[in-house]
Every structure is written in C-alpha cells, then in structure tokens.
Structure 1
Amino acid sequence: MKLNFRTLGAGEPLIIMHGVFGSSDNWQTLGKVFAESFKVYLVDLRNHGNSPHSDEFDYDVMVSDVVELMDDEGLEKAHILGHSMGGKVAMHLSTQHAGKVDKLIVVDIAPKYYPPHHQEIFKGFHSVNLSTLKNRKEADDQMAGVISNFGVRQFILKNLDRKKDGSFQWKLNLNAIENAIEKVGEGIEEEVSFDGNALFIAGGNSDYITDDDHDLIRSYFPKATIVSVKGAGHWVHAEKPDELGKMVIEFLK
C-alpha cells in the first residue's frame, strides 16, 4: 500500500509513525524540530490520515507498507520512531527487517499484549451524527455527552473531514480499526530480537510501560535504554515535546 507522507528537512532519514486514531499531523511540531538535523518522514499509517483504507489491518501489513515506502524512496536504512501503535509497528519492523533500521525509538509502549481499552474513544466517534452535522462545534457538543475530556475530544476530532459537498466524514477507516482493535493490542510473541541501539521513552504518569516491563523489553532489544519523562501521560510528544525532543536528538546524535 502506498502510504501518505510528508518530508521535512535534510540529512539521515527519520521515519515517524503515530498511534491508533492519530495521524502524521500529531508529530508535525516535533517533526520540524527534528528536521533541523534529519530528513523527517511524517507518515500516515494505513486506515489513518490521508492514507488508503483496507479491511486488512495488522502489524504484518503495516510493516509491509513501511518497507514499501522505504523501497520507493530508495532508503536502505532509516532511524525509526513510533508512538503507541506506531511503536509496535516500529518494533515489528526492527525485528523482521533489522537491516533497514538504524536506531529505534519507541514512545510509551512495550512489546507485550494490551487488552482492548479504547471503548470510550469508539463511543466518542459513534456519538457524532455525521448525516446531520453542520460544523465542528456541533460535533464537539455531541461528543461531550460521552467524553468529558476536552483534549481527548480534540484529538478525535482531528479525524473529522469536510467533503466537497459540505457534508462530513471520518478520515480514518473506523470500521476496520474497530474490527481489528484486538490485533492492535497484540505483543511480539516470536523469539526475535533487534540488536541495534534502541531507546524506549515512557510517560512518567502513564502505565503503558511499567518497571516490570523492562526485562521483557531487553529480551527483544538487548541494547535498549529505557527512560521516563516526568509529568507526561501516554501522549508524551504532546504533553512534554521539549523534553522528548531533546532525548530523541541526543540519542540519534
């Protein structure tokens, strides 16, 4: 699948992959920072952003999409950064195609199984009546009855897209994601490893990476450095961009 992506800057390639329900826009601010030193690829994973839709949605096909992008761009090797679901894609890519990955950065996700926990997000999507929707404010009002957190609503509403006829649609393939949400939580079960340099960045207030996960991470990524960003939840890049940016640049340089 030909993924939608944008490039910023010049230098060694750095591919950045967002989490579930996200898009390349989530990393635009930090992408500009990284672009001062690297050629940054901001990618929309399949079924997200402006990339094509497909009923096939698992880590094998997402990895194949990124490999295809690298081949199309003539990239023999790249630094790979992924957040949450994008971090899982990055981990699978590094263990399946180690020769294509220079340095690996994984933001707030471990190589373990996570049970489905996005029920509130799906309720938020389904609470919006697209057929009668007149504007984004109306969508936010409808969603507020299900999701009280303004920031979470704004994150979801980044996926709202106005069509040429003035009506609204979701950019992402909501049905495919909802049908495959169990697969999004899957861990790495094979006996594989990536022997290159890896940096795992946890949110200090997030429970996605716990102290108990450190041994598991190093069983797959023996050279992994594991750090935590104080005061950050799961969306580390949105909550503490300066701290995360410094960690990434220091690690890559």
Structure 2
Amino acid sequence: MMIIAPTPRLVRHAVARLRAPVSASVSVSAPALTISGRAFFSSASSFSDIPTVTLAYDLHEPAKPVADAKTSPIIFMHGLFGSKKNNRTMSKVLARDLGRHIYALDLRNHGDSPHDQRHDYLAMAADVAEFIRQHGLKEPTLIGHSMGAKTALALALQDPSLITNLVAVDNAPIDAPLTSDFPRYIQGMKAIDAANVTRQAEADKILAPYESSFTIRQFLLGSLYRPDPKNDQTLKYRLPLGVLGGALGYLGDFPFRNPSERRFVKPALFVRGTKSLYVPDEVIPAIGEFFPRFEMVDVDSGHWVISEKPEAFREAVVNFLEPKE
C-alpha cells in the first residue's frame, strides 16, 4: 500500500509531453503521450523470461456461487508493505454480493509468499499470470490497490488474454516517483528488527519518530510476527526489508511507455480517492490511451480508499461487475 502520494510536480514530470493523436477510440479525448522513466523495464519483455514464485492466497467462497471457483473469479491484490489480510473483509463482502469466488493474494516479498531479489511490476505481474495458469482460472477479474493496482495494469497490458476486466484502486499507468517517506519507513522497520522487541507497543514506540500517524504505524506493524513462538517471543518483520528498500526506486515506475504498442481494450474501472494525489486529472489522458474502455469513479477519501470508504468502494465495484442487461 503506497501511503504517501507523489506531489503534483512529480506527476506532471512523469507525464512528460504530449504528441500527435493515435488512431484509436478512447473514452476521453486524449492525444498519445510519451511517459518518461527508467530504462529498467522493456515493453518487449516476456513473462516467460521472468522466474516466478508461487503465491500464497486465501480463497473466499460465496454462500450462493454463480459459478465454480475456477470460473470468473476475482483476484484481489494488496499494496506495498501489505498482505492478503488487508482485503479479507472486503473480499468476503464482494463474494457475498457478486456470488463469485475471490482469491486474495500475497504478492512476492509480502505476507506468506516467497521472497525474491527481484521486485518490480513485471515480476509481480508474471507471478499473478502464473497463478492464473496454475489454478486453471477462467476469465478472472483483477482488483488491485496501489502497488497491486499497477501490478494488475501491467498484467493487463502484457497478457490481456488472461483476464476479462480489472479494477485499479488509486493508481495509474504512469511514472510517479515515490517520496522520501518510504526509505524512512524501511529505516524504522529495520530499527524494530534490530531491537528484538517482544510486544507491539514497544515496536510502535520505536516507529513513532519515523511516522507520526498512528493509523499508518498500525499498518506498518501489521507484518510483524514471531518466527519461533514456542522458544522466543521476539517480533520480526516477514518483509525482506533489504529487498524492498532496494526496489523503492522502481515502484513509482510503470513498465510500459507507449500505448500504441500495448493497449487493454476490455473494460477497466479506475477508483480514485479525491483527497489523494495519485490519480490527478492530468493523468487521465494516459489512462485513456492504455485503457480505452475505462470508467472512473471518484470516492471522497484519501489513498486508503477501501478502508476509508468501504461502502462507496463496494458499490463502485458491484456496479461495474454486475451483469449488464
């Protein structure tokens, strides 16, 4: 979950400059654009070139399913420093309302999923693509928040045949550099690991100088666990802090630059928090170029859309995914 939004100046820099229109129908009147960024990614990369990890997941089953667990399921993805636990309540609600099975994933280097030295959007998208194939899922919907949203967007552009539609929550297909808060969070979490605390209250006290918001601290403390509870009560982070700290420079990036090369022409819903800066109006042209059949719903919230306004989020998703007459 990306907690601190980039500034409008950084977003304007990320969107770079506009070019001539491309010959494609889009939901907004938008010229094509070039998005600046690192050379770390290549739009020619193939998922077959990326070693994947086997993702941990929770399966939430509806009381009255409209299909079996492999047909039209929903795949729910968390954000940076999060886990499948973050989306447990909403997954149960959506399973009930839509009658669809929901797979809540732990992305690589998070929760119960394996750790790997590579942590970028193509690698995370490759993991999810392999998850879909391994489980034999047919026409799934992707829902992702923040880091999970960019993972969903990357998968949709890299292998659109695998999914039927998607919901991106408070993120967009642009480069928007992260702020210096994230290295500070990594510092604070490393300080907790080094202190060998046994109670969450002790960990919170260590983290307080690094983050003043109690809500954000509680989120960051959510990945603590006891590796050896029978013999030792020490709390440690499940997260590979060194790997994630080294990946921060890439997590603001988006792996695809040119919408004339890759486009997802199936339905896509973008849900943005009106008090968040992650999806300002100036990035709407980029969304329209990559995702010409997109819809957008504004929610009166900050970046934490799902937890801040769960009913508004639920309503937006249900309206988007319910069968249309």
**Counterpart residue number, 2:211:** 147
Matched, 1:114 2:183: no
Give the partner amino acid of 2:151.
V
Give the partner amino acid of 2:319.
E
| Paired residues, number | 252
TM-score (ref. length: structure 1): 0.96
Higher relative contact order (CA 8 A, sep 6+): 2
**Counterpart residue number, 1:189:** 257
Q: Distance between the aligned counterparts of 1:124 and 1:114, measured in 2?
A: 23
1:131, distance to aligned residue in structure 2 (A): 4.2
Q: Distance between the aligned counterparts of 2:209 and 2:126, measured in 1?
A: 39
Please say if residues 177 and 249 of structure 2, whose CA atoms lie closer than 8 Å, have aligned partners that are also in contact: yes
**Counterpart residue number, 2:18:** none
Select between 218-227 and 111-120 the one with higher mean Cα deviation: 111-120
**Counterpart residue number, 2:91:** 31
Q: Distance between the aligned counterparts of 1:135 and 1:54, measured in 2?
A: 28
Give 1:91's match in structure 2, choosing from 153, 157, 164: 153
Q: Distance between the aligned counterparts of 2:198 and 2:150, measured in 1?
A: 37
Give 1:15's match in structure 2, choosing from 57, 75, 93: 75
SS for the counterpart of 1:127 is helix
Please say if residues 119 and 247 of structure 2, whose CA atoms lie closer than 8 Å, have aligned partners that are also in contact: yes
Matched, 1:213 2:296: no
Matched, 1:124 2:188: yes
Please say if residues 3 and 43 of structure 1, whose CA atoms lie closer than 8 Å, have aligned partners that are also in contact: yes
1:97, distance to aligned residue in structure 2 (A): 1.1
Q: Alignment RMSD, CA only?
A: 1.3
Matched, 1:234 2:303: yes
**Counterpart residue number, 1:76:** 138
1:185, distance to aligned residue in structure 2 (A): 1.0
Q: Distance between the aligned counterparts of 1:192 and 1:96, measured in 2?
A: 8
SS for the counterpart of 2:295 is strand
Structure 1: stretches of 5+ with no match in the other structure? none
Structure 2: stretches of 5+ with no match in the other structure? 1-52
Q: Distance between the aligned counterparts of 1:128 and 1:151, measured in 2?
A: 17
SS for the counterpart of 1:55 is coil
Give the partner amino acid of 2:267.
N
Q: Distance between the aligned counterparts of 1:62 and 1:135, measured in 2?
A: 32
Q: Distance between the aligned counterparts of 1:77 and 1:65, measured in 2?
A: 17
Matched, 1:61 2:123: yes
User: Can you list the C-alpha shifts for 1:87-111, whole angstroms capped at 9, x where unaligned?
Assistant: 1110011111111111110000011
